[in-house]
């Protein structure tokens, strides 16, 4: 009986955990970057980098984070090439953001490579996350 009651509690606990999940994940990620020698992190720098324009090596329009995700982080973005809708970046509008460390790293790798032409440094990633987590 006791066991069954506890089982019933699990979804409830999971519900409570969601708003905190991104905070935990981001903290862990930031710690990881610090372990690689980065820090302290600046949300201001992250914000500036978000809108920074990068000339494309293949020609075509300049690239930036905002080109796909938009300047307004609480609204839906649009993939520059395919037009696919991109869920809001701000955790306040999209609680699923930054809850999965592997996903965060995957997208950093893919999107920094496309936008800036190289992978982002731990310092840059830390600055980005410091800015984005507060949105």
Q: How far is the CB of 122 from other proteins (least distance, A)?
A: 17
Q: Under the criterion CB under 8 A, does residue 84 sit at the interface with other proteins?
A: yes
With contacts defined by CB under 8 A, name the span among 12-20, 34-42, 69-77, 81-89 that binds other proteins: 81-89
DSSP string, 19-51: HHHHHHHHHHHHHHHHHTT-----HHHHHHHHH
Q: Which of 106, 135, 126 is nearest to 26 (CA)?
A: 126
Q: Look at the alpha carbons of 14, 16, 22, 26 in this order and tell me if their dihedral is positive or negative.
A: negative
Among 34, 38, 114, 116, indicate the residue that binds other proteins (CB under 8 A): 114
Q: How far is the CB of 47 from other proteins (least distance, A)?
A: 25
Task: Provide the binding-site residues for other proteins, judged by CB under 8 A.
Answer: 58, 79, 81-84, 106, 109-110, 113-114
């Amino acid at each position: 009986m006791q066991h069954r009651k506890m089982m019933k509690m699990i979804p409830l606990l999971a519900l409570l955990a969601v708003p905190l999940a991104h905070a935990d994940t981001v903290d862990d990620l930031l710690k990881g970057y610090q372990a690689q020698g980065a820090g302290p992190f600046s949300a201001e720098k992250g914000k500036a980098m978000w809108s920074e324009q990068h000339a494309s090596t293949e020609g075509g329009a300049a690239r930036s984070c905002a080109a796909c995700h938009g300047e307004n982080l609480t609204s839906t973005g649009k993939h520059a090439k395919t037009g696919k809708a991109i869920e809001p970046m701000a955790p306040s509008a999209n609680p699923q953001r930054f809850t999965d460390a592997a996903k965060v790293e995957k997208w950093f790798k893919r999107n920094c490579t496309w936008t800036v032409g190289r992978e982002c440094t731990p310092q840059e990633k830390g600055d980005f996350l410091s800015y984005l987590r507060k949105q």
